[in-house]
A and B are shown apart, each in its own frame.
Chain A
């Protein structure tokens, strides 16, 4: 009876999106047997110790537990009502996947075939376009592209090089050159006793984490859309990318972007952000990032890519002061803050807006990002910076 209830409970949690494997169910059984069923608080503490692994799951767990303790059947009925909504997290089988539609539509047959072959995609795509076409696409402003061009640009953006270069780690790895690795050399001796082989090692190089803070307000729409694809490409290839979007509020979308399929990832990300194409409150977003996320994401020499045009909705004097403070705080936590500003496409860009003026002193550099060429240049620009010791 107890086992049945726990299995049932774990299924409810799983339906609500928590990862509760069979091993956890067995643990839960053992745990409840250990503490006994006499006190509700004990059972709650025991089950949460076994079944949770992140603090933010606690509220969901508590709600489920409360309902379950009262009446398991009631909970099941509630979950059934909720189920279509809850399953929305992983809409793999949802019918409206862009690529599927494209693949079925006859006029675009040729391109659909290209897309269905996952790995050699880039090469074939390049072959399909003449050099001059690619050249033009690289320098065309995202704002002025046609729909097809924009789609092509999105696919290219997802494959551009990461904007940070590897930095030296404390951990060592074996290499043909470098300091002598006494341990490994000695270990190699018994295998080939007649030849002395000196093994060497050097510090491992690894790309530092990247944190992307992406402005998704109305004025940034196209750039943000494209940058999301860029961020998705980075996330798929380079593990340590944390992506946040901000308009009127800050939304972490790192987990959504981990999805392999770009369409699904974009859809999940879009579902997560409630403020797409709204106004911007940069100061509030930076402030929340500093408070809630900076310590968790900026460890290990992280670089922050701040993607915004710096046009704040509330242009009041007070707001500029807050922005100044928050940007300074961000600068102190990050190894490097790089501002990617699409407005730099205008040759005569001058930092007039209060928001821009407040941000500018606290970023290490400001770079344009209005076309593919500028995105591709990012890597080069950031690599040129000599590693600074702070």
Chain B
């Protein structure tokens, strides 16, 4: 499609890994150097970044923060089963087309002209994937929870991700004026096809280390006292080692810290933990297990040093 040549997106991108870390930190997102490296490469090489990891480790958040850091638009595509081209890329405005036909009938227009007018650009409704290709500045395109979509949709993504283009049979191929920065996330409820992964840079987001998580909690729950933050983080870190059905993510840690602040807790005590476990754990089995003495044990362990 014709559009003015964009300002070079390279100029806006961070020039080194350290700059990536700094740019994200400025948006209150702390990331380790490994993730920053993957992100830096994805920006530099123009490849989609494929993020996998447990729920609540900040996959979606990264895309949002990235858009803010690069000061560009965020286009989000939430995946679900049965997603198709009409919902993700483009759709012809069929109602308008019908109207055009009626008008042509009334005006005795030739069928050749009518055909050309039925499939013109104005009658095309843009959905996130197509609109990601038509922006003047490279947007951040977040394809969230790709594992929820079904496999035919993945196949459709290959063209968009590999070539930054979409072929529309009636209109031709739409090439990206400014290639989007693509972030794909998956919770691994199923394996994504190798063909798609091959076109991406892969990064597995781990749970953060103790120190890192503490920094995150300090940043995101500033009202929590130093002592409370430290206890919360150590408690959660120990819980992750407990083979629970669903370990709490960083998002849960932050929620929990904020919940405890709201309850005016200055430190962890068994009763408060007991009452607020629902913020942290989302499976009844896990909660029952913690309530039956495990929580007490963890708190006792925290008091020792």
Contact = CB atoms under 8 A, between A and B. Distances in A.
Contacts of A53: 50, 194, 197-198, 200, 202
Given A55-B52, A290-B245, A325-B285, A186 B38 contact: no
A325 B283 CA distance: 13
A55 B45 contact: no
Interface residues of B, number: 46
A41 B34 CA distance: 7
Given A186-B97, A325-B285, A35 B41 contact: yes
B45 A27 contact: yes
A329 B285 contact: yes
B118 A190 contact: yes
Interface string B196-208: 0110111110000
B170 A187 contact: yes
A299 B147 contact: yes
A105 interface: no
A55 B245 CA distance: 19
Contact of B189 (A58, A186, A299): A299
Interface stretch (B66-74, B78-86, B254-262): B78-86
A171 B94 contact: no
A205 to B, nearest CB: 13
User: How big is chain A's contact interface, by range?
Assistant: 35 or more
B45 A30 contact: yes
A45 B81 CA distance: 33
Contacts of A30: 45
Nearest to A41: B33
Contacts of A35: 17, 37, 40-41
A21 B198 CA distance: 9
Contact of A171 (B147, B150, B204): B150
Interface in A136-154: none
A220 B111 CA distance: 72
B170 to A, nearest CB: 7
Interface string B17-53: 1000000000000000110011011101101001010
B282 interface: no
Contacts of A248: none
Contact of A49 (B84, B97, B202): B202
A172 to B, nearest CB: 8
B238 interface: no
Contact of B37 (A45, A170, A190, A325): A45
B210 interface: no
B243 interface: yes
A300 interface: yes
A183 B37 contact: no
A116 interface: no
Nearest to A254: B191
Interface string A285-310: 00000110001110110000000000
A42 interface: yes
A193 interface: yes
A187 B243 CA distance: 55
Contacts of A291: 243, 245
Given A41-B37, A296-B188, A300-B150, 10 more contacts: A23-B198, A31-B41, A34-B44, A35-B40, A45-B38, A49-B38, A53-B200, A171-B81, A171-B150, A183-B86
Interface of B: 17, 33-34, 37-38, 40-42, 44-45, 47, 50, 52, 81-82, 84, 86, 91-92, 94, 97-98, 111, 115, 118, 147-148, 150, 152, 170, 187-191, 194, 197-198, 200-204, 243, 245, 285
